[in-house]
Structure 1
Amino acid sequence: MRPRSVAPNPPPGTSCARARDYARRVLAEQYAPPSLVADVLTVVSELVSNAVRHAGGVTGFRVTVRAGQVVVEVSDRSALLPHLGPPCPHTPGGFGWRVVKTLAPSTFVRSHRTGKTVVAALPTHTGRPPAP
């Protein structure tokens, strides 16, 4: 895949479905393998749904293809940082951040004046990273 950032990005307040459609288009232009597309769409779904559910909605969204990685950035209005809670198989939810960190192990959060941006970098190689 060739390094490239695709514009324009979806507008703030985007939904999970719209964000996935956008990511799918970016990856199709790069001829990304199906397994990478599936992983990126999972990360997009988790980050966007968490921003909507817990952080007042999406204020920014971007998917960038770089050498060796696909970077997903989701911004929201909350200063609260995501965290890994203890696994509770009998409680619904609470697995999204663990999934994101498994698929994109170099994920980090950038805090800013208006909230935060979660930056998840997925490697483009075919092997999956080990679980955290």
Structure 2
Amino acid sequence: MDTMSVNVTPARSATTIASARETARDFLQGLVPVIAAETADTVVLVVSELVTNALRHAGGACTLDLTAHPDSIEVAVHDGSPQTPRMRTPDLNGGTGGFGWPMVNRLARTTAVTHRATGGKAVSALLPR
């Protein structure tokens, strides 16, 4: 099983999110057997959404964990907020979002939110390999 963990800080959100995507691409390129390009794109998209949500809504640093299982890739983002992601009607005019969490739930086999005893949570998505 291959794993990678990286701390993500909100210093410059756009740069940080791009860095998280690049980290995910590097991790995926190192897997054996190699995964399909479409699968890699889906994993990178989920990484981008979960890191974006953590930085936008949790208000602090987060940690990205990637784990390759024999038949799946697990993306987990840990942050300091106890607030659970929620489904909401996408904002088509005001630009306030609402698209990411429903999309992650459609792309993933399963999603989970685990609250930590020390505070905060982990939001994870299990994607087919």
TM norm structure 2:
0.84
Unpaired segments ≥5 residues, structure 2: 11-15
For residues 1-132 of structure 1, the aligned pairs below 5 Å read 4-7=1-4, 9-13=5-9, 15-30=16-31, 31-92=34-95, 93-112=97-116, 113-124=118-129
After TM superposition, give the deviation of residue 89 of structure 1 in Å: 3.0
Q: CA 1:58/1:74 → structure 2, altered by over 3 Å: closer, same or farther? A: farther
Q: How many residues align?
A: 120
SS at match of 1:98: helix
Unpaired segments ≥5 residues, structure 1: 125-132
Which sits farther off after the overlay, 74-83 or 86-95?
Answer: 86-95
After TM superposition, give the deviation of residue 13 of structure 1 in Å: 1.9
TM norm structure 1:
0.83
Q: In structure 1, what is the Cα distance between the partners aligned to 2:109 and 2:102? A: 10
Query: What's the % identity of the aligned pairs?
Result: 36
Instruction: Give CA-to-partner distance per residue, 1:42-84, whole Å, 9 cap, x none.
Output: 1000000111111023332111110211000101111010011
SS at match of 1:22: helix
Give the aligned CA root-mean-square deviation in angstroms. Answer: 1.6
Q: In structure 2, what is the Cα distance between the partners aligned to 1:58 and 1:96? A: 19
Question: Residue type of the partner of 1:122?
Answer: L
1:127 is aligned to none
